[in-house]
């Protein structure tokens, strides 16, 4: 049996999101059809994705929202708190320090780093900015699991190397460059610049329309 397709992992995140909304609205149960409709995915796909991990539904009845949500959180590794650091406290890094997820349990902002003496020492959100030179030390001390990489493009690869050496397991890269990480460090790109450029590709040719009727 082969590995789980990356696309499946991405959809699991979407299902979890949908289930969380449903739970908030008081919905008790949902069929694969219901989930698929909201997630913009076929019901087949929903069932196949879930089947990689086990059986979570009841034939004839569908899925219990609370149960499936709990299972997905477990599958995605969201049942224990993750220690997160931000590397690069420019505008974006500072904005991310207030990211709402840090209010909840799963993700805890435990450190923030920069190289600029003008920023080091300042308190931003829940943490005080420290020198990037202290990364290894601090990472060991506070058991940093994950990092947001929000440094300029030219500094990204060095920062990845430093994070990998410090034992950080996953990096969310916001810098618009191709960086390389060792096998044991997972890298995910959250790429504004790339997103913008994909957007222009798709938008360039299609005709513009305002409202429903044109002409």
The site for DNA (CB under 7 A) is made up of: 2-3, 5, 7-8, 31-33, 41-45, 47-48, 50-51, 55-63
Out of its own copies, DNA, none, what residue 37 binds, judged by CB under 5 to 8 A for its kind, is: none
How far apart are alpha carbons 170 and 93 in whole angstroms?
A: 17
11 neighbors 45 (Cβ within 8 angstroms):
yes
20 contacts 69 by C-beta, under 8 angstroms:
yes
169 binds, among DNA, its own copies, none (CB under 5 to 8 A by kind): its own copies
Both tokens assigned to 121: 């020492």
For residues 55 and 91, which CB has a smaller minimum distance to its own copies in the complex? 91
CB of 60 to its own copies, least distance (A): 27
Output 60 or 77, the one with its CB closest to its own copies.
77
Q: Which partner in its own copies, DNA, none is near 2 (CB below 5 to 8 A by kind)?
A: DNA
Q: Rounded to whole angstroms, how far apart are CA atoms 172 and 151?
A: 12
201: Cα within 13 Å, side-chain hemisphere:
6
CA atoms of 121 and 115, how far apart (whole Å): 11
Nearer to its own copies, 16 or 111 (CB): 16
């Amino acid at each position: 049996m082969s590995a789980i397709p990356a696309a499946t992992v991405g959809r699991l995140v979407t299902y979890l999101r949908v289930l969380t909304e449903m739970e908030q609205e008081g919905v008790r149960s949902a069929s694969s059809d219901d989930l698929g409709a909201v997630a913009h995915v076929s019901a087949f796909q929903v069932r196949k994705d879930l089947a990689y991990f086990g059986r979570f539904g009841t034939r004839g009845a569908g899925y219990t929202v609370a149960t499936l949500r709990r299972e997905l959180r477990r599958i995605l590794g969201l049942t224990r708190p993750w220690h997160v650091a931000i590397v690069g406290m420019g505008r974006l890094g500072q904005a991310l320090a207030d990211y709402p997820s840090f209010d909840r349990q799963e993700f805890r902002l435990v450190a923030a780093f920069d190289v600029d003496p003008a920023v080091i020492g300042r308190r931003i959100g829940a943490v005080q900015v420290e020198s990037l030179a202290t990364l290894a030390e601090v990472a060991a001390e506070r058991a940093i699991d994950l990092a947001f990489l929000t440094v300029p493009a030219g500094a990204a690869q060095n920062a990845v190397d430093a994070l990998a050496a410090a034992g950080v397991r996953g990096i969310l890269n916001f810098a618009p460059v191709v960086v390389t990480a060792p096998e044991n460090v997972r890298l995910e790109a959250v790429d504004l610049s790339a997103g913008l450029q994909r957007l222009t590709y798709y938008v360039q040719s299609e005709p513009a329309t305002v409202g429903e009727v044109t002409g």
